[in-house]
Amino acid sequence: MINGETSHWMRQSARRERPALDGDTVADVCVIGAGYTGLWTAYWLTRALPDASVVVVEAEHVGYGASGRNGGWLSGKMIGLPRQLAKGPGGRRAVADLRRAASEAIDEVIGLMARHGVDIDAVHSGYLQIARTPSELARMRASVEADHALGLSEKDVRLLSAEETYERIHVEGVLGAAQSPHCARIDPAKLVLGLADVAERAGVRIVERSPATAVSPGRVVTPNGTVRARHVLRATEGYTPTLPRLKRAVLPMNSSMIVTEPLHERSWDAIGWDACETLSGAQHTYFYAQRTADGRIAIGGRGLPYRFGSRIDDNGRLDSLTIHHLHSVLTDLWPGVDLPIAHAWCGVLAVPRDWTPSVTYNSTTRMGQAGGYAGQGVTAAYLAGHSLADLVAGRDTHYTRLPWTQRRARTWEPEPLRWLGSYATYALYRSADAVEHRTEGDRTSPLAHFADTLSGRH
């Protein structure tokens, strides 16, 4: 089994090295971070400001962060907390607009990549969120009802019975599922690497191995040179706390994954999953998974949620306890099926204090940022990059009117409160799952409600 080395996706990809910044340079726009957000922002800037020069500086290599390590869900699920987004001038209508934009973005991304000759292994067959306890089923029913209250229909999201769910995927003890057509399985590394190529063909310059050591209006300093730019935009997501004065801006939440070896046909006969929907659980400590293009199962979850002092992972290496836990989730779903692990890795995603993303731009300093997706970044970054590019260009568009525009969250608490709160929250969620599994009641455990309050999710 391989451990770390960024991710399985990156190890399987045909990634090419790009040179580091060598000396000072001048550009109209400097974007910090060559993940989804930075690259989409750069790409949309070439459309909004076709004469502008755009430089993207990346600390490691294209897709090194969450963009090259995630579960590969191009999803139309809700981005952020509706109650937080509804506080903006657009209210609940703007929240519904964001949900609709996320659903529409799926085919937009797939189509744009296809037009540029980029194969991202996309299968647009929706998602299944399965319930295996009465309390999970009750929460899922409430979630579907909340979606319908936002204006979604049964065609957008609906409940499946236990029998309907089992016909799609043969999960042990399933009671039902929420099903939506608004999700596509993709290879995340193929998307980010392909997007980098598309951006470069549009005129964007990308430099790797060039970490930003100082950032100020009009200036980004790296070890081997300085970029002087009219606009400076930050797209650093979970790595934001590594930048000066931003230690508490977001919490770099850990997310962990394993992927199996390609499974035998007899194993797939036992599992089902013929349509390749993305799959998740309705537990408080949920999992997310996909059936890959080459016949593996990739599954992820939180594992160790946070490292003291907002420290970042060591090239994606995953601890043995989390590897064992994720494998036990697989064997619990499909007991008796041989599910050997091929690769394990982890990464960080950015969680704002209110669990809701933002896109901001200051026309005086000409500095901006986008991020804070809390695990929903594949689709969100496409939309946020468009929002940020249009703000820089001074355009009033559908994207600049999305409810995350110009909103700000307060910073996280200082250590050790940040670390204690993170571990207490996930300990409570794990305990809540255990209680609900043991009692088999249909009420959510009070421990989970307390964890929601402690974390800021409710």
DSSP string computed for 106-159:
HHHHHHHHHHTT-----B---EEEEE-SHHHHHHHHHHHHHHHHTT--TTTSEE
CA distances from 291 to 91, 128, 132 (A): 37, 12, 20
Strand-pair category, 225-234 with 367-371: parallel
Please give the pLDDT value at position 441. Answer: 86
CA proximity to 175, closest of 110, 211, 209, 128? 128
Buried b (16+ CB within 10 A) or exposed e, 383-402: bbbbbbbbbbbeeeeebbbb
Task: List the alpha helices (DSSP H) in 352-406.
Answer: 377-392
pLDDT under 70: residue ranges of the chain: none
Please give the pLDDT value at position 458. Answer: 75
Please give the pLDDT value at position 315. Answer: 86
Please give the pLDDT value at position 249. Answer: 97
Please give the pLDDT value at position 201. Answer: 98
Structure tokens at 377: 């970044």
Secondary structure letter of residue 226 according to DSSP:
E
**Kind and range of the H or E run holding 266:** helix 265-271
CB-based contact 212:22 (threshold 8 Å) = no
CB-based contact 257:345 (threshold 8 Å) = yes
